[in-house]
Amino acid sequence: MALFRCNQCNHLREVSNNYIGQAVKCPQCQTVNPIHNTVDFVTRLLDHYMAIGKELQGLRQQSGAAATGSEASTSNSLHELDINNSNLLAESQQHLAIVQWFKQKDIKLEINEKSIDTSGFFDEVARTVGDNYDVLKLVVEQIRYRQRKGHTFFNLQLAKNSQKEIRQITQFCQELYKYSFVSRYNYQKEEKVVRLTLQSAQAVTEFFAGAWLEWYVFIKLLELINEKQLNASCLRNLTIQFPNEDQHELDVFFLLNGSIPVCIECKTGEFRQQIDKFVNLRKRLQLDSQQFVLCVIGLEDDQAQGLSSMYDMTFTNESNFLDHIEQLLPA
């Protein structure tokens, strides 16, 4: 079959091959148009389509290159985001400066976008734990221990705690239940016993196993950046690969003002056996001892100071790590 297409009204229909090459009136608008061989017409149409596609691809590449250059030269204003409820931290523009920093050192970077998505409740619960750790460590450590043993529920005796501590603990347990970090919560007021049924979800188990401290350090640093209105890029739970294919996971990494790198490793348990590993990692990253921080939960201030003087890295705890970071900030 041949093809008739009106250039005026776009009317399209098939006609007999006997009409190929003839000019006939369009049945709708009466405009005279030629009859086409279908194969020839479709071939010309595809050639035109491919040409437009190549032109569009070229324009997109030019636009992408320009956008990349613009992003690279534009500072990240984290203080413009709602850091407590946002998935925008996972966008490529936010951590582009960090990607480039590692690329300059020939280090490959794998980003865990879920680990910097604050639209969930991990950051809220982590802040509660970190800000009140002296009291709430009783709950956190019990949950961690029970989960490691495979228990599904346990009772927490509060008879020896003060009224203020009981209020803090029960409010925290209510928060855990509200955000589904535990599947059931009950407080027997007369007996002063908290009854908790645990969640088995991997993300919750990992949170109590130590990820809560990573979240706490991450969100407190974001709050500091907001307060100081600094430009920064940030990542958490990132994996790096050196040229010799050695891989390491970094807990928290910030790039302040595009030029001040800060790497923070977080420990809620034993850390002494890993000191040498961290010192070597700091050297491979070419960071100053002040820029590589080990935040150890419950570490005494004088002990942190002594360890910092012994090893080529900085030791802090959950209470003073922000003080150290502030010392790194430009005046």
Give mean pLDDT, residues 172-198. 96
Instruction: Kindly list the domain boundaries of the chain, sorted by start residue.
Output: 2-67, 122-203, 212-328
Q: Of the CATH numbers 3.40.50.1980, 3.40.50.720, 3.40.190.10, 3.30.1370.30, which one belongs to the domain with range 122-203?
A: 3.30.1370.30
CB 203 within 8 A of CB 307: no
pLDDT the model gives residue 78: 57
What distance in Å separates the CA atoms of residue 104 and residue 328, rounded to the nearest whole number?
22
What residues contact residue 294 under an 8 Å CB cut-off, 6+ apart?
A: 264, 265, 267, 271, 275, 278, 313, 314, 315, 316
pLDDT the model gives residue 71: 43
pLDDT the model gives residue 22: 78
Residue 207 has pLDDT above 90, yes or no: yes
What distance in Å separates the CA atoms of residue 26 and residue 34, rounded to the nearest whole number?
10
Give mean pLDDT, residues 56-70. 50
Out of 27-31, 118-122, 200-204, the most confident range is: 200-204
pLDDT the model gives residue 70: 42
Is the domain defined by 212-328 classed in CATH 3.40.1350.10? Answer: yes
pLDDT the model gives residue 73: 38
